[in-house]
A and B are shown apart, each in its own frame.
Chain A
Amino acid sequence: MATTPSTPAPKLNRIGLSVLEYKGGKTTLCAGCGHNAISERIVDAMYEMGVKPERVAKLSGIGCSSKSPAYFMSRSHSFNSVHGRMPSVATGAMLANRNLLALGVSGDGDSASIGIGQFVHLMRRNLPMIYIIEDNGVYGLTKGQFSATADLGSKLKTGVVNDLPAIDTCALAIELGATFVGRSFSGDKRQLHSMLKAAIAHKGTVMLDVISPCVTFNDHDGSTKSYKYMKDHEEPLQDINFVPHFEEIDVEYDAGTTIEVTMHDGSRLRLRKLEEGYDPTHRIDAIHRLLEAHEKQEVLTGVFYVDPKAPSFLDLLNMTDQPLATLPESVTRPSREVLEQCMEELR
Chain B
Amino acid sequence: MATTDVALQDAPGRLERKPIVNDMSIQVATVNGSGSQSSNTVLLRSIFQMGVPVSGKNLFPSNIAGLPTWYTIRANKDGYIARKKEIDFLIAMNAETAQEDVMSLAPGAAALYDEPLNLSTLRSDLVFYAVPYDKLVATVCPEAKLRKLVKNMIYVGVVAKLLDIDVAEVEKAIHRQFAKKAKAANLNMAAAQAGFDYAAANLKKQDPFHIARMDKTKGKIIIDGNAAAALGCMFAGVTVVTWYPITPSSSLVETLIDYMKEHRIGPDGKATFAIVQAEDELAAIGMVIGGGWAGARSMTATAGPGISLMAEFAGLAYYTEVPGVIWDIQRVGPSTGLPTRTSQGDILSTAFLSHGDTKNILLIPSSVSECFDMAQDAFNLAEQFQTLVFVMSDLDLGMNNWMSDPFQYPETPIKRGKVLSEEDLDRLGGFARYKDVDGDGIGYRTLPGTDHPAAAYFSRGSGHNEKSQYSERPDDFERNMERINRKFETARSFVPRPELISADKSKIGIIAYGTSHWAIVESRDQLSMEYKCETDYLRLRAYPLTREVHEFVEKHERVYLVEQNRDAQMLSLLKLDIRPELITRLRSVSHIHGLPLDARSVTDQIMTMEGK
Contact = CB atoms under 8 A, between A and B. Distances in A.
Given A85-B282, A327-B239, A338-B263, A96 B296 contact: yes
A317 interface: yes
Contact of B456 (A78, A319, A343): A78
A74 B456 contact: yes
Identify which of B259, B274, B447 gathers the most chain A CB atoms within 10 Å of its CB: B274
Contacts of A21: 453
A167 interface: no
A176 to B, nearest CB: 12
B456 A89 contact: no
Nearest to B285: A88
Given A117-B283, A319-B271, 5 more contacts: A78-B459, A88-B285, A96-B292, A332-B238, A333-B414
Contact of B295 (A85, A321, A325, A333): A325
Closest 5 CB pairs of A and B: A92-B290, A88-B286, A325-B295, A332-B237, A96-B296
Interface stretch (A51-59, A223-231, A246-254): A51-59
15 contacts: A76-B448, A77-B449, A78-B459, A78-B460, A80-B458, A82-B316, A88-B290, A93-B291, A99-B449, A319-B270, A324-B240, A332-B238, A339-B231, A339-B409, A347-B221
Given A320-B268, A324-B239, A343 B406 contact: yes
Interface in A248-307: none
A167 to B, nearest CB: 18
Contacts of B286: 81-82, 85, 87-89, 91-92, 118
B278 A329 contact: no
Interface in B562-577: none
Nearest to A317: B274
A238 B490 CA distance: 60
Interface in A302-347: 317-321, 323-327, 329, 331-334, 336, 338-339, 342-343, 346-347
Given A85-B313, A331-B266, A54 B296 contact: no
A343 B456 CA distance: 44
Contacts of B221: 343, 346-347
Interface in A157-180: none
Interface string B294-319: 11111000000000000011001000
A46 interface: no
A100 B294 contact: yes
Given A91-B287, A321-B270, A332-B237, A81 B295 contact: no
Interface string B256-280: 0001000110101111111010111
Interface of B: 219-223, 231, 234-240, 242, 259, 263-264, 266, 268-274, 276, 278-280, 282-298, 312-313, 316, 320, 406-407, 409-410, 413-414, 446-453, 455-462, 470
A92 B291 contact: yes
A54 B450 contact: yes
B456 A75 contact: yes
Identify which of A92, A325, A338 gathers the most chain B CB atoms within 10 Å of its CB: A92
B379 to A, nearest CB: 10
A90 interface: yes
B297 A332 contact: yes
Contacts of A342: 231, 259, 263
A55 B456 CA distance: 10
A92 B325 CA distance: 13
Nearest to A17: B453
A57 B239 contact: no
Interface string A73-112: 0111111111001011111111111011000000000000
Interface residues of A, number: 57
Contact of A96 (B219, B270, B283, B295): B295
A94 B219 CA distance: 43
A214 interface: no
Given A53-B456, A70-B458, A342-B259, A81 B294 contact: no
B2 to A, nearest CB: 39
B234 A92 contact: no
A97 B287 contact: no
A10 to B, nearest CB: 16
A92 B289 contact: yes
A118 B282 contact: yes
Interface string A195-215: 000000000000000000000
Contacts of B236: 333
B274 A95 contact: yes
Contact of B290 (A90, A318, A336): A90
Nearest to A74: B456
A245 interface: no
Given A75-B453, A89-B289, A99-B449, A323 B295 contact: yes
A334 B294 CA distance: 23
A121 interface: yes
Contacts of A82: 286, 312-313, 316, 461
Identify which of B235, B278, B288, B290 gathers the most chain A CB atoms within 10 Å of its CB: B290
B235 A77 contact: no
B409 A92 contact: no
Contacts of B276: 91, 95, 317
B279 A54 contact: no
Given A320-B271, A339-B407, A121 B283 contact: yes
A69 B288 CA distance: 22
Contact of B447 (A85, A94, A326): A326
A76 B316 CA distance: 20
Contacts of B450: 54
B251 to A, nearest CB: 15
A328 to B, nearest CB: 9
A95 B296 contact: yes
Contacts of A94: 290, 294
A13 to B, nearest CB: 15
A52 B291 CA distance: 21
A185 B295 CA distance: 36
A62 B455 CA distance: 24
Contacts of A76: 448, 456
A70 B221 CA distance: 54
B469 to A, nearest CB: 8
Nearest to B322: A79
A21 B455 CA distance: 14
Contact of B280 (A79, A81, A117, A347): A117
Given A96-B296, A96-B298, A97-B447, A88 B259 contact: no
A85 B460 CA distance: 13
A70 B470 contact: yes
A93 B450 CA distance: 13
B289 A81 contact: yes
A80 B459 contact: yes
A325 B294 contact: yes
Nearest to A332: B237
A333 B456 contact: no
Given A96-B240, A325-B294, A77 B272 contact: no
B410 A89 contact: no
A53 B456 CA distance: 9
A334 B448 contact: no
B493 to A, nearest CB: 25
A93 B294 contact: yes
Given A96-B295, A96-B298, A54 B452 contact: yes
Nearest to A346: B221
Identify which of B237, B283, B294 gathers the most chain A CB atoms within 10 Å of its CB: B294
A127 to B, nearest CB: 10
A118 B447 contact: no
